[in-house]
Structure 1
Amino acid sequence: MPTNRQIVLDNRPEAEATASNFKLVSADTPALADGQVLVRHHYLSLDPYMRGRMNDSKSYAAPQPLGEVMIGGTVGEVAESRHPKFKVGDPVVGMGGWQEYSVVDGNAPGLLRKVDTTHVPLSYYLGAVGMPGVTAWYGLTQIINPQAGETVVVSAATGAVGSAYAALAKARGCRVVGIAGGPEKCRYAVEELHFDACIDYREHGDVKAMAKALKEACPKGIDGYFENVGGYILDAALLRTNAFARVAVCGMIAGYDGAPLPLQNPALILINRLKIEGFIVTEHLDVWPQALQELGTLVAQGQLKPRETIAQGIEAAPEAFLGLLKGKNFGKQLVKLI
């Protein structure tokens, strides 16, 4: 069995996460028991939620245990199998974590799934046609539920979630406005992801400036807002909401280092009769097949063309992850392992 290089969480961040929180180790891959599958990972996914798991604090999921492999999505191929459903060479998606190989119980529901790479590249199953894409789908269709002609906005617009959100919303006839960092990302959002407008938060660094930019980009107000960031961007978006607007809260990356994120104008929730709902996409597995089918179709038809930022090698994962938290990635952040 092959030697397996792994990234474990060595210690918890004091405030901002650093590379010293992680440790690269090697372990022997155990022999397979009946029903188990050995997966060789081709790519591992880096996602903002992982930062919250590094803290030992109350959240929607248990903290990442110290000394154990960092949790995370993976795609790869079956390298060895003692399960009748999986054969060597099958492309698969799972939650193998930050390591080069994983041993998976082939009978456990939801742990490992074969995928079709005929029209959808393998790496896309960690982004546009994976958890981030389903996250965008759920927030848009199940919480915001827009009607044609409505204006919907998303922060972190050029990431894996934001790019899928744009394609899904445009398919429903919406005006779609993004918020992203830097002129290059905003240009990409409009020219390649087909946003109707994109606001550079680096040029609008406080509530007043962001609210003014949103007013210009959303002359009819905001009917639906998908939140990934929090902080002053959320305050500004709430100022521009229409009556009965819907807000899907997916993430609060501005607060992942422990800083509090108070709302400046909570009375807007009452004044505009807002619906604000947080969600965890893994709690809604019943809708994943429907979401993945639509997302896969959008990719196959060329309506969803996500960009990827790829770091090379397992040892590159910590720095790539820290870069993701600072917005240095362009599109979906992956680590290529082969």
Structure 2
Amino acid sequence: MTENRRFLLRRRPDGDPVRDDFELVSAPVPSPPPGGFVMRNHYCSIDPAMRGWMDDEPSYMPPIALDDPVRATTVGVVHASDNDDYAVGQWVMGLNAIEEYSVVTPGHFTAPVDVEAVDSPTRFLTAMGAVSLTAYFGMTDVAKPKAGETLCVTGAAGAVGSVVGQIGKIHGCRVIGIAGGAEKCRRLTEDYSFDVAIDYRGKDIEELRAEIAQAAPDGLDMVFENVGSPIMEAEVFNLATHARIVLCGLISEYNAEERVGLRNLWQLIVHQATIHGFLIADYAPRFPEGGAKIMEWVREGKLRIDEDVQEGIENSYDTFMRLFSGANEGKQILKLP
């Protein structure tokens, strides 16, 4: 190939992203920089966090610069190299962008991968990628589940939430999942072994509060939060004493013009609860440990990880927006054939 198609951020979204916020352009295939290499991206991880990177606001990562390609974790093959540690043809993953070819300077997020050890290279974006590792370390290191405790997961049918709930079951917990729609709730109980599935659609906070109370009469020992208010408020009203909240995401507020936040924060005092803002980046040195354990559970049939693979860089916008409509069924991935 002689061209590099790139999905650029042309303007910062105001609320829901629209097509005109982005542009697909073609450029020459780049050459490797000194000490670096050029990677041919085969698969891109499409994640809710990308929406936050599009805003010009302080965050844990710098915003995507206008006219730059949209940042994404990718897995692919070394196309050209000026680095002896990364030979042409070698499979690699790293934090790059939605583009067919990325210029890579090896660093914190770049690592070679062994595709012979997995059934698909996409596993490095799912089972052995940041999504499953977020669930693994968020549960084992922060929530610290104990057998007999009750865990509530929001965004439970999503890529992170579905793994969180299954890890809770592996540790002997009662698991309640909150998701949108009958089909997603069916998947929670039938595919992921959740004990209870609650459909939030069409319900106000009082109805959700009552359903959670019925599912967890002794309160929630753990909450793994991916969505935010008002669902989170209903959970907080149902905490057990010394409950632990892992605050992983707030997808309900990413496109909002005004962010509501948690209006019943005082309940954390009432229940002597803790809330922990969680980012996976701190655990990068331990990724091999987490990935090995996750693949062990997958091989043992204890953990199911679904992938939703859409194809074609020309479908980047539609694939990204599937995250916010709830159309994705599993970890959202974009294949660049």
Same fold (TM over 0.5): yes
Moved more, 276-285 or 42-51: 276-285
Query: Aligned with 2:97: secondary structure?
Result: coil
Instruction: Tell whether the 8 Å contact from 1:41 to 1:77 is kept in structure 2 after alignment.
Output: yes
SS at 1:43's partner residue?
strand
Residues 6 and 100, structure 1, Cα contact 8 Å, conserved in 2 = yes
Please say if residues 104 and 112 of structure 1, whose CA atoms lie closer than 8 Å, have aligned partners that are also in contact: no
Confirm or deny: 8 A CA contact 1:148 1:173 kept in the other structure: yes
Unaligned runs of 5+ in 1: none
Aligned residues: 336
Call closer, same or farther: CA 1:56–1:140 in 2, change over 3 Å: same
Contact 1:120–1:296 (CA<8 Å) still a contact in 2? no
1:179: how far off?
Answer: 0.9
In structure 2, distance between residues paired with 1:81 and 1:164: 36
Match of 1:333 in 2: 332
User: Which segment drifts farther, 65-74 or 324-333?
Assistant: 324-333
Closer/same/farther in 2, CA of residues 187 and 105 from structure 1, 3 Å limit: same
**2:197 equivalent in structure 1:** 198
Shift of 1:312: 1.4
1:69 aligns to what SS in structure 2?
Answer: coil
Specify whether residues 15 and 298 from structure 1 end up closer, same or farther in structure 2 by C-alpha distance, changes over 3 A only.
same
TM-score of the two chains, using structure 1 as the length reference: 0.94
Q: Is the CA contact 1:152–1:224 (under 8 Å) kept in the aligned structure 2?
A: yes
Please, which moves more after superposition, 69-78 or 259-268? 259-268
Rate the CA distance shift 1:320–1:219 in 2: closer, same or farther, 3 A: same
| Partner residue in 1 for 2:164 | 165
Partner of 2:9: 9
What corresponds to 1:100 in structure 2? Answer: 100
Q: Per-residue deviation at 1:191?
A: 0.9
Q: Report percent identity of matched pairs.
A: 36
Aligned-pair Cα RMSD in Å: 1.7
Shift of 1:238: 0.6
Q: Cα deviations across residues 285-337 of structure 1 (Å, max 9, x unaligned)?
A: 23322221211212232322222222210010111111212212111111111
How far the C-alpha of 1:31 sits from its partner, in A, is 2.2
Aligned: 1:323 with 2:322:
yes
Q: Look up the equivalent residue of 2:249 and give its one-letter code.
A: G
CA distance in 1, matches of 2:179, 2:77: 34
Q: Amino acid of the residue matched to residue 252 of structure 2?
A: A
Are the aligned partners of 1:93 and 1:115 in contact in 2 as well (CA < 8 Å)? no
Amino acid at match of 2:49: Y
Q: Which residue of 2 aligns with 1:185?
A: 184
Whole-Å Cα distance in 1 between the matches of residues 37 and 104 of structure 2? 5
Residue number in structure 1 paired with 2:213:
215
The one-letter amino acid paired with 2:171 is R
Q: Residue by residue, what CA displacement relative to the aligned partner does 1:17-43 show, whole Å, maximum 9, x if unpaired?
A: 112111101111222245322222111
> What TM-score comes out, normalization by structure 2 length?
0.94
Q: How does 1:1-338 map to 2 (within 5 A)?
A: 2-106=2-106, 108-203=107-202, 205-257=203-255, 258-338=257-337
